[in-house]
Amino acid sequence: MTFALTIIQLISAITVTLVVLLQSGKRSGLSGAISGGAETFLSKGKAKTIDAKLAKATKWIGLVFVLLTLSLHFV
């Protein structure tokens, strides 16, 4: 049981690392400071972008990782 949980935790750790690395950075430098108002106007359709899906995946995979860590601690 512990071995299977450890393997699943290792897979989730690698997956969350890859998902975080695939996301684009939130800072866009000087151009982001100038066009910041337009981004808030155009962010209505942001829920369907790849970055939004990766952000959601990061939250869920991170939650799985934390739950597996806690379960391995108490097993």
Distance CA 34, CA 14 (A): 36
Which are the contacts of 5, defined by CB distance < 8 A and separation ≥ 6?
A: 68, 71, 72, 75
pLDDT in tens, the chain (75 residues): 889 999 999 999 999 999 999 988 766 555 555 555 555 555 556 567 888 899 999 999 999 999 999 999 998
Rounded CA gap, 29 and 12, in Å?
A: 32
What residue spans define the domains of the chain? 1-17+46-75
- Alpha-carbon span 63 to 35, nearest angstrom: 34
pLDDT digits (tens, 9 = 90+) for 41-51: 555 565 678 88
Supply the pTM of this predicted model.
Answer: 0.68
